[in-house]
Amino acid sequence: MKKHFILFFLALFYSFISLEAGNTVAVVTFVEGEVCKGGCFFGSKVSKGDVFQEGDTITTKDGKADIQIGSGSVVRLNENSELKIKGMNESGKTSLFDLFLSKGQLHSKVGSSKAPNYKIQTNTTTVGVRGTEFVVSESGALLDTGVYMKEGEAEIDMSSTRRCVIKILNFGCNDPDNVILKAGQQIVFDEDDYEITPVSAKASEEMKIINTFKLLDLPRFHSIRQEYYDVGAFNSSDYESARNFSSVKGSSPGSSSPSQSVNPYNRQYNRCCNCCY
């Protein structure tokens, strides 16, 4: 009886681990110039067809790369950028992806699903994606640090931005609500403030590259995934976000309706989080 209980506990434990651990891959579909796995000093050179797993870091120096993240999204990593894949898990209608852009700029197109969880963290904010096309820029990239929406929408975590006021007896800060950034809008951060405006002409031009993004054929992607994980035989129903990728409607970069050009959160706060406790 005790032996059966131990076996049951171990099976439950390992099933939990497999659910949380990464179970899918990222594949390089285009590369130009110097791109490395890890840092470009000690890391290895990246070529088209290379595969990344959860925990890997991609660094560009004078190069750029298109990377298919899981079955239903593509990112373009620009020059002088660094992206860490913190988490990748997809199963049926559920997708869990967690990326960290420590510097540089990426363009992304994400196929929607009924229960997506796709986020990109930077040193400034966290972007929760909802089936969309967008650019994220961090620290000295071509565009100012911020998020630029081409299509769809994303939830921007504003916890690093606080409005601080000096009261008579103490010093306090108010945590702002998260911002829902819509198509045709951008949020730009600087040292002290942030501002939401319509997408600039420069950002619109940068976002045109997203129109060229394509996915690998699903059977081909599944066969690559099988080389790293025990995911069973190919079943197209396991890849809802990939099927929806081509249905993410493109729009003229920077286009927005009058109702989208002004956001109710279009205000600036003094970013004094280092002095607020």
**Could you read off the pLDDT of 84-136 as tens digits, one per residue?**
999 999 877 677 899 999 999 999 999 865 545 889 999 989 999 876 899 99
With a pLDDT cut of 90, the percent of the chain lying above it is: 52
Tokens 């006021």 — which residue?
A: 165
Position 187 confidence tier, pLDDT thresholds 50, 70, 90: very high
DSSP secondary structure letters along 169-229: S-EEEEPPPPEEEETTEEEEE-SS-EEEEEPPHHHHHHHGGGGG--PPPHHHHHHHHHTTS
Q: What is the pLDDT of residues 151-175, one digit of tens each?
A: 999 999 887 654 444 444 455 555 6
Q: List the structure tokens of 144.
A: 């100012």
- Asked if pLDDT for residue 33 goes beyond 70, the answer is yes
Q: What is the pLDDT of residues 216-248, one digit of tens each?
A: 999 999 999 999 999 999 988 888 777 677 655
**What CATH number matches the domain at 2-275, 2.60.120.1440, 3.20.20.80, 1.20.120.80, 1.50.10.10?**
2.60.120.1440
Question: Phi and psi at residue 237, in whole multiples of 5°?
Answer: -70, -15
Helix (H) or strand (E) holding 8: helix 2-20
d(CA 110, CA 179) in angstroms, rounded, equals: 19
pLDDT of 259 reads 33
CA distances from 241 to 69, 93, 114, 117 (A): 11, 8, 9, 11
d(CA 36, CA 52) in angstroms, rounded, equals: 11
Chain centroid to Cα 45, Å, comes to 23
Q: Which tops the pLDDT comparison, 71 or 20?
A: 71
pLDDT of 267 reads 38
d(CA 199, CA 150) in angstroms, rounded, equals: 8
Domain positions in the chain: 2-275
Chain centroid to Cα 235, Å, comes to 26
Largest CA distance in the chain: 70
